[in-house]
Every structure is written in structure tokens, then in C-alpha cells.
Amino acid sequence: MIILGIETSCDETSASLVKQHPQGNLEIISQVVATSLSLHATTGGIIPENAAREQLKYMIPVVQEAIHTLAKPEESIDAIAVTVGPGLIGSLLIGVETAKTLSLLWKKPIIPVNHLFGHIYANWLTNTEIVFPALALVVSGNHTDLVLMKSHTSIRVLGSTRDDAAGEAFDKIGRLLGLSYPAGPTISHLALKGDSKLYQFPRPMMYSKDYDFSFSGLKTAVLRQVKEIKTLKSKTIADICASTQEAIVEVLVYKTIKSAKKYGVKSLLLGGGVAANETLRVKMQRALTDMHMDTTFFVPDRSLCTDNASMIAAAAFFKKETQPIEKITVDPELYY
Ligand code: KG4
Ligand code: ZN
């Protein structure tokens, strides 16, 4: 079975072909991602209308490139999976209307996919040994969620952010330091040359009894520090980056391990753009090992952590809930 995935919820315009083998394992046949990040960098963040206009330019060429190896796509493709939310309404509509058009043309069903599940199911693209119960930490630009999965259909959100998401904290703090959008990758790169112990930034809600997160206080603490320093030299920026990353990672690891222990999960999954962060990946694995937990750690390849259409196709294989075309609508606020 081959699914064409389409993802346009925010910064990227992506199309992928993903195949499921008879044994159940998934294989990415093609993945094309056109990013609008350089455009958003010029404005210091996303202006929704600009994002959609840019994606409109990319959408058709991206799909064409993803399916160009298929002589007769209408014969090889079994279904079309598309992100219906959460995301920017104009951006989502571009992907969904494209999926509907192809569905009518090729007479193929559409599987609407929640972007957040896409981030979780990115783990299934490269791993076949994931067992339930599983705990997923979804860390993206807008979400920081701990999701307990007892099966593919039994899902419970244990906690989420009360204000800024982890990715948002990276991006906003980066902006304070004069770094361009999105700042997460730059902060993690600059942090390599910085001292992570130099600034003791707060670890918000680390010891709260629930599984929620909060990162806006961290941003305020960094702002205060930056104002105190006045002129930022590159060594100071590196130290602030390292100390910021340390604070975010420490909270994410502490609360994730705490809930993994409490619910006795067999698998721990990371997903979302922030899951590409090397320090987070290393420290999460180390914490599991140090605690001697019987939990296997899974994290998608770096290229599959940030937005892509392969993860949308992957989620569709497990959800398989097709819907008639007239019922499919976008939902910018969609949750689990
Ligand atoms: O999942 P994603 O690509 O898009 C959303 O669904 O939001 O996540 C984007 C977020 C941005 O905030 C970006 O700064 C962050 O992921 N990010 C990182 C890294 N790579 C991307 N944050 C920290 N370290 C990274 N290496
Ligand atoms: Zn995402």
C-alpha cells in the first residue's frame, strides 16, 4: 500500500510517498520539503498571509517532484493523507484543497491527519519495535505535550504547556539575542561553545505535581539578564544559549521521566522540531539509562523531527479513517 502525504500547516510545503510492506514496516519512497523559513527569517517570524502565498507557489511543484518516479500515480497510490490541523488556516487550506483535487482526479480516498499525531508517528517511519504502553513527548513550535498511548486508539494527554511551548521559548529567546527565526537550531549550535552553568535560569514548574510545563518565565529571566549585560559579545551569547538550552532540556527530561516511571511505559517517543535537539536526545537517553528503566527510547531521524509529509502518511497508516470529501475541513485549533 502506498500513501501520498501532504503537509502545509506552517513553515513547510511537503509531499511524500510512503509504502507499507506486508510485514508492516514503513518505507519512505520520496520526500520533498520546500521550506519558507528564509522568508520568515526576514520578518523575524511568521506572517500568516505571507506563509500561505509562499506555499501556494510551492505546492504543485512539490507534489510533482514527490510522484515523478511513478509512471501512473493514479494506479500506484492507494490513498492521500493530508494535515487538517492544527496550524495556520490559509496554509492548511492549500494542502487540503490540493488533496481534494487529486482525490477527485485519481478517485482515491483522503485520510485527514492531525499534525500532532504526525509528529508522534514519525517514530514508526524508522522503528518497528515500538510497544505499548508508550509515552510521547511532542515538542514543536506551538506544543509541549506529554501523551500517553495505551494503543493506537487509546490516547490521553497527561500534560501540556500553560503558556509558551518549548520551541516558542527557543525562538523568542533567540530573538532577544538577535538570532534569526527559527532560533532553536542556532541556539543549539551556539550552545556548543558556551558554558551551560554560567547563568542559572529558572526551571519553571519542574517540581509541580502535575505534568504541565511553562516556559514564559524563562524568557522573562533571559530578557532581564540581557538588559543587565547591555552589549552582548559572542561569548556571552554562547553562554546564554547554553544556559537556556540546559534549563529547557532539564525540565523536559525531568517531567518526561517522571511520567514514564509513573505510568510504567515500555516505549518513550520524542517528536516535533525540538526533538532534533542533540542535547535533549542525549540527556533523555542518559536519564533512562541512569534510572535503570525498562523503557526503550525512540526518536525520529533529525530530518523527520521538523515538519514533513512522511510523518503525515505514517500516521495515516495507523488511523486509516477516510472521510468523504465534503466532510473534510481544516481546523486550526485541532488537538488530540
Ligand atoms: O515541529 P516543527 O518543525 O513545527 C511546528 O509544528 O511547530 O517545530 C519547529 C520548532 C521551532 O520552534 C524551532 O526553533 C524548533 O522546532 N527546533 C529546534 C531545533 N530544531 C528545530 N529547537 C531546538 N533545537 C533544535 N535543534
Ligand atoms: Zn510540526
CA distances from 121 to 92, 125, 322 (A): 19, 7, 17
Of all residues in the chain, the percent with pLDDT exceeding 70 is 100
Q: How far is the CA of 275 from the centre of ligand 1 (A)?
A: 8
| Mean pLDDT, residues 171-181 | 96
C-beta of 300 in contact with ligand 1 (< 6 A): no
Q: How far is the CA of 262 from the centre of ligand 2 (A)?
A: 27
Per-residue confidence (pLDDT) for residue 278, from 0 to 100: 98
| Mean pLDDT, residues 314-325 | 92
Instruction: Give the range among 63-67, 280-284, 289-293, 329-333 with minimum mean pLDDT.
Output: 289-293
User: By alpha-carbon position, which residue is closest to atom 2 of ligand 1?
Assistant: 273
Per-residue confidence (pLDDT) for residue 320, from 0 to 100: 77
User: How sure is the predictor about 265, in pLDDT bands with cuts at 50, 70 and 90?
Assistant: very high
Tell me the per-residue pLDDT of 23-59, one tens digit each, with 9 for 90 and over.
999 999 999 999 988 887 888 888 989 999 999 999 9
Strand partners, 161: 213
User: How sure is the predictor about 230, in pLDDT bands with cuts at 50, 70 and 90?
Assistant: confident
C-beta of 73 in contact with ligand 1 (< 6 A): no
Q: Choose which residue among 14, 218, 219, 306 to substitute to test ligand 1 binding: the one with the highest number of ligand atoms within 8 A of its C-beta.
A: 306
